[in-house]
Chains A and B, each alone.
Chain A
Amino acid sequence: MRSFFLFIIRHYAIFMFLFLELLSFYFIVTHNSYQQTYFINTANTLSGNVLNSYGNFQEYFSLREVNDSLMHENAMLREQLLLSQIADTVNHTVSDSTGKPLYSYIPAEVIGNTFTEANNYITLNKGSSDGIQVNMGVITSGGIVGRVVKVSPNFSVVMSVLHTQFVSRVAVKRSNAQGRLTWDGKRPTHIDVIQVSEPGTIKKGDSIITTKVSPMFPPDIMVGTLESIGKDPGSNYYTLDVKLSTNFSSLKYVYVVNEIMSKERNDLENQIQDAGN
């Protein structure tokens, strides 16, 4: 027994090394399993506040840029207002044909953002006290951003579209051919749309937009433009290489999408699933 302890003491470094590596890999593996957000940390007080105060400081240096983008967005919204017959647009809501509001938007600021990892997250400066809930979609003026995965009272963490486990259904605007959005983890400017079954008249330069099938985002939000089309070997599906319209390296202001009737929709869909079982 004594020699056993002596052995451990003499070689403590390797045991400590193995222990710490196992601990790290435990975190990695549990985190990688689907929807495990236990260790999402930037919503905690320390990193949240560090990121927030740096964001406040940095704001002074990008005022002109921010101004420009807000002016641009303003102009775009005014234009939409003229074209739209739905007066509710002013109140940050989108209505259905009967006039009931379907979506409302919560504006938020990006205080933490990675786009160089294989699984990227974005931290926002608003949380549950502002009405943000898990699973809400997040968009920006020019495109989609991601899905809320964790909220604390004052911060929330968004699973970026640039995350290998992010899923959403999208469509080609011109032909309405649908497919599934996935990111291969490489370029933060491009994304793939897989399992597109009817190529029809799809061609380079087509717009890719969100659909009503994915309730996370309002329909017809721009995702990106089609750059190239490839055929999956051994199947009838096509894979589209899409250039994202969201610029993730300069993301500053975003809107969290609140689908007002999401509870009713989810309940209904769950009833069918329960009945199926």
Chain B
Amino acid sequence: MQVINWILRVVGLVFLIMFQVLVLNRLNVSEYVHPYVYPMFIILLPFDTPRWMLLVVAYLIGFTIDMFNNTPGMHAAACVFIAYFRPQLIKFYTPITGYESVTSPSISELGVIWFTMFTATTILLHHAVYFLIQLFSINDLGFLMIRIGLSTVVSTLLIVILAFLFAKRKVRAK
């Protein structure tokens, strides 16, 4: 069961990276909206994932995206940042009843509101780090603030929609 679970996760990761690199990066919505959905993989990792694994996995995923975008280090830095603060976030968003038997963030077990809040905060941290690194090149903090805000909203929406799609498919398989 554990093994199948991880195989599904890896397949999901490949899909997310492809979707990011081959679809989202080629959309030109607006200069303020640059959505990144691939951090969804880090969001969905089990609650008991060891910290070293979180950090290493996050770094490798960020580095992969960097390889396709020619943005060395930028996505890696943002991913490592959210991986480090993930345990604190999980603690902060503990439901009143605790996590009980829930092993990883899921929309079906923890509810849409919990999932959206957790995703939005993680994505906000990721986008803040990522777009603030662009200050090296774009010397306009106000512009980048708007870019962070609007991109966070769009990325969060996309991830919640994707989570719904994946959740439904699981139910059908049963």
Spell out A's residues near B (CB within 8 Å).
12-14, 16-17, 20-21, 23-28, 31-32, 39-42, 44, 46-47, 50-51, 54, 112-121, 157, 164-165, 184-188, 249
Contact = CB atoms under 8 A, between A and B. Distances in A.
A54 B72 CA distance: 22
A20 B28 CA distance: 31
Contact of B70 (A40, A187, A188): A40
B43 interface: no
A112 B67 CA distance: 11
Contacts of B22: 54
A120 B134 CA distance: 12
Interface in B33-86: 34, 51-52, 55, 59, 62, 66-74, 76-77, 80-81, 83-84
A124 B28 CA distance: 20
B31 interface: yes
13 contacts: A14-B84, A20-B55, A20-B80, A21-B77, A31-B73, A32-B136, A32-B137, A42-B68, A114-B70, A117-B70, A118-B137, A185-B134, A186-B143
Given A13-B52, A28-B133, A188-B28, A119 B71 contact: yes
Given A20-B80, A186-B143, A25 B73 contact: yes
Contacts of B108: none
Contacts of B66: 27, 41
B73 A117 contact: no
A28 B75 CA distance: 10
Contacts of A12: 51-52
Interface size class of B (residues with CB under 8 A): 20 to 34
Given A28-B133, A164-B138, A188-B31, A39 B72 contact: yes
Given A41-B70, A187-B31, A17 B55 contact: yes
Given A24-B62, A41-B72, 4 more contacts: A16-B51, A31-B72, A112-B68, A184-B140
B26 interface: yes
Nearest to A17: B84
Contact of A13 (B28, B81, B84, B138): B84
Contacts of B103: none
A115 B27 CA distance: 9
B31 A186 contact: yes
Given A20-B59, A186-B143, A157 B31 contact: no
A46 B67 CA distance: 10
Given A12-B52, A17-B84, A164-B137, A115 B73 contact: no
B55 A184 contact: no
A166 to B, nearest CB: 11
Contacts of A23: 59, 73, 76
Contacts of B74: 24, 28
Given A13-B84, A16-B52, A20-B80, A27 B72 contact: yes
Nearest to B30: A187
Contacts of A32: 136-137
A10 B140 CA distance: 40
A17 B79 CA distance: 11
Nearest to B22: A54
A13 B72 contact: no
A119 to B, nearest CB: 6
Nearest to B55: A16
B85 to A, nearest CB: 9
Contact of A47 (B62, B67, B72, B73): B67
Interface in B112-164: 133-134, 136-138, 140, 143
Interface string B76-107: 11001101100000000000000000000000
A17 B34 CA distance: 26
B3 to A, nearest CB: 26
A12 B73 CA distance: 22
Contacts of A249: 26, 28
B134 A118 contact: yes
